[in-house]
A and B are shown apart, each in its own frame.
Chain A
Amino acid sequence: MSHLFGHDQPLGVQASGGTAPSFVGSFDPRVRVVAAGLFAVMVVALHQVEFAFGAFLLALGTVFLTDLPLRLTLKRMAAMDGFIIVMLVMLPFTTPGTPMFSLLGADASKEGLMHAVLIGVRANAVVLMMLSLLSGLSPVALGHTLYRLKCPAALVHLMMFTVRYISVLHDEYHRLRMAMKLRGFRARNTFHTYRSIGYLFGMLLVRSLERAERVLEAMKCRGFSGHFPMIDHLEFKVRDGMLAVGFGVIIGALVLLDRIYVFAY
């Protein structure tokens, strides 16, 4: 997974090899970050399955305007669904309400089922929209964008350092792991395995700190004064404003209809 951060390239570019930005990718990253956040907050506030499903379709439509590989994206979503499936299956049986059917002596309620479906649809809508709006960004571009959106500089710098060193340390991990393998180590369910992995991770920490010392000295050597220049040229164009307005209207309409629906019934 960490190879994603290795060359500072977005997911779509690495998978398809193309260079021209997609339709979604041509908008100002600031608008995309804010839109993804707004979408998440608004979708979580939806109460009706119908409107949540509408939001899901909106997100699905957006995927087709990006150059994200569809299979990989769906695989990511399936991985997330794996996390929640247990909770969703249990929910009908644990929520009190009108019984629908019973399984092994436990009654499944209609309310519980509806709630489970609602959660599943909302979660998938948010993740899909986030992946399609943001994963076209490279991690460094995301850092710059957050900085421009007035996130604390220390946090952005911390994120940039993390992104920069994930792939380095993952390689280091593989090197250490290879050394263990050459000495006949195989991961099993034994105390020896857990101790060895512990030593491995401890060594990784020691080496990272030593690396950090070298990095800091190299930075001081070059006159680091506590500030990184943010080299990028973000332009807020008219079409970015139009996207912002259009997106805001759609989301606002969804939430408004959702609320009116509640009052009407």
Chain B
Amino acid sequence: MHIVDGALAPEVLIGGGVLAVAGLGLGLRKLPIDKIPATGVLSATFFVASLIHVPVGPSSVHLIMSGLAGLVLGWTAFPALFVGLLLQAVFFGFGGLTVLGVNTVNIALPAVLIGLTFRGLVTRSSPTIAAIWGGIAGASSIAVTTVFVAISLGLSGEGFVPAAKLVFFAHIPIMIIEGLISAAAIYLICKVKPELMRASDSAYDRVYDDAPYPITTGQTAQVTPATSEANNG
């Protein structure tokens, strides 16, 4: 899924960079300082997901779970996934520096869009129905990502078009597996801790310098989601 440095046309790189900066700006605006611990820990979780390998046929693939990231984090999935990609690029040499923008947009933008689309459906449904929606979200975010990768390759030169098609078809098994795993994860989350789905919206909305009442736990904060002002900005 990572595109390396040197393959894409400059126009695509610049376009990707501009989109990534815009997305990061939007995501960071939705990230008040006291949501940073939760977002950081979840961002680390999604980094760990990329270290989990699942068997597929004779080989194995690592998880991406960008659909789940979008569902749990909303717009803040953009900076969270960007951080993961930056660390991978700088310390492991996966991906590259100039394609960081393109790679971020390719992975984070589908995650955010899919997350915003499906979040309402998932939070309102019973665990079984939510699992189905979660599965669709997980599979389709990978599908949209591969389409984005294909588009960025296709825009960079005619010669890449067959490779772009190959990328899409090679990822169909991954879409199915990501869908299944996301569905199971969503089922568990709905049973065990449904607040997780609303984590990035309500659980930590508290500007503590002008908090009207003493510091409360996350539990109490969820009871009064209407008091959140940080959400609007």
Residue of A nearest to B5 (CB): A126
* In the complex with contacts A194-B180, A202-B184, A205-B72, A213-B196 CB distance below 8 A: no
> CA A122 – CA B9 in complex, angstroms?
13
Q: Which of B54, B93, B185 has the most CB of A within 10 A?
A: B93
Chain A residue, CB-CB nearest to B176: A194
Q: Check A134 for interface membership: any CB of B closer than 8 A.
A: yes
* A44 proximal to B (CB < 8 A): yes
The answer to whether A40 and B97 touch (CB under 8 A), given A204-B45, A209-B38, is yes
Closest to B34 in A: A216
B-chain residues with CB within 8 Å of residue A131 when the two chains form the complex = 93
Stretch at the interface among A17-25, A76-84, A255-263: A76-84
Shortest A140–chain B CB gap in Å is 12
Q: A90 near B162 (CB under 8 angstroms)?
A: yes
Stretch at the interface among B105-113, B140-148, B153-161: B153-161
Q: A236 near B: Cβ within 8 Å? A: no
| Structural contact, B4 and A83, CB atoms closer than 8 A | yes
Task: From B42, B160, B180, B217, give the contact of A198 (CB < 8 A).
Answer: B180
CA distance A36 to B161 in the complex (A): 30
What sequence of 0s and 1s flags, for each residue 154-191 of chain A, a beta carbon within 8 Å of any chain B beta carbon? Answer: 11011111111110111001000000000000011101
C-alpha gap A84/B99 in the complex (Å): 14
Given A126-B6, A205-B72, A205-B196: A165 touches B97 (CB 8 Å cut-off): no
Report the minimum CB–CB distance from A241 to chain B (whole Å).
23
Closest-CB distance, A9 to chain B (whole angstroms): 12
Q: Is the CB of B188 within 8 A of A212?
A: no
Q: How far is the CB of A76 from chain B (nearest CB, A)?
A: 5
Residues of chain B within 8 A (CB-CB) of A173 are 48, 51-52
Q: In the complex, A125 Cα to B45 Cα: how many Å?
A: 31
Minimum C-beta distance from A259 to chain B (A): 14
**Which of these, B37, B45, B56, B153, contacts A189 with CB under 8 Å?**
B56
CB <8 Å contact, A197 and B189: no
Contact assessment for B185 and A123 in the assembled complex, using a CB-CB cutoff below 8 Å: no
The complex places the Cα of A65 from the Cα of B13 at a distance, in Å, of 30
Chain B residues whose CB sits within 8 angstroms of the CB of A123 once the complex forms: 4-7, 96
Q: Are A164 and B40 in contact (CB under 8 A)?
A: yes
Knowing A123-B6, A187-B55, A189-B56, the reply to whether A205 touches B91 (Cβ < 8 A) is: no
CA A83 to CA B40, docked complex, whole Å:
28
Q: Is A203 an interface residue (CB 8 A)?
A: yes
> B158 is contacted by which of A4, A96, A187, A212 (Cβ under 8 Å)?
A96
A209 touches B199 (CB 8 A): yes
B residues less than 8 Å from A37 (CB atoms): 97
Chain B, Cβ-Cβ closest to A189: B55
Partner of A11, one of B6, B24, B91, B192: B91
Task: Indicate whether A94 reaches chain B with its CB closer than 8 angstroms.
Answer: yes
Is B41's CB within 8 Å of the partner chain A?
A: yes
B87 within 8 A of A: yes
Instruction: List CB contacts (< 8 Å) of B71-118 with chain A.
Output: 72, 79-80, 82-84, 86-87, 89-94, 96-98
Q: Are A162 and B44 in contact (CB under 8 A)?
A: yes
Find chain A residues with CB under 8 A from B80 CB: 158, 162
Q: Which residue of B lies closest to A81 (CB)?
A: B4
A199 engages B159 (CB within 8 Å): no
A206–B189 touching, CB < 8 Å? yes
B interface, CB within 8 angstroms of A:
2, 4-7, 10, 13, 24, 28, 31, 33-34, 36-45, 47-49, 51-52, 54-57, 63, 65, 68, 72, 79-80, 82-84, 86-87, 89-94, 96-98, 153, 157-163, 166, 177, 180-189, 192-193, 196, 199, 203-204, 208-209, 215, 217-218
Q: Which 3 A-B pairs have the closest CB atoms?
A: A198-B184, A161-B40, A122-B6
A-to-B contact residues, CB < 8 Å: 1-2, 4-5, 11, 36-37, 40-41, 43-45, 76-77, 79-80, 83-84, 86-87, 90-91, 94-96, 112, 115, 118-123, 125-127, 130-131, 134-135, 139, 142, 152, 154-155, 157-166, 168-170, 173, 187-189, 191, 193-206, 208-213, 215-217, 219-220, 224-227
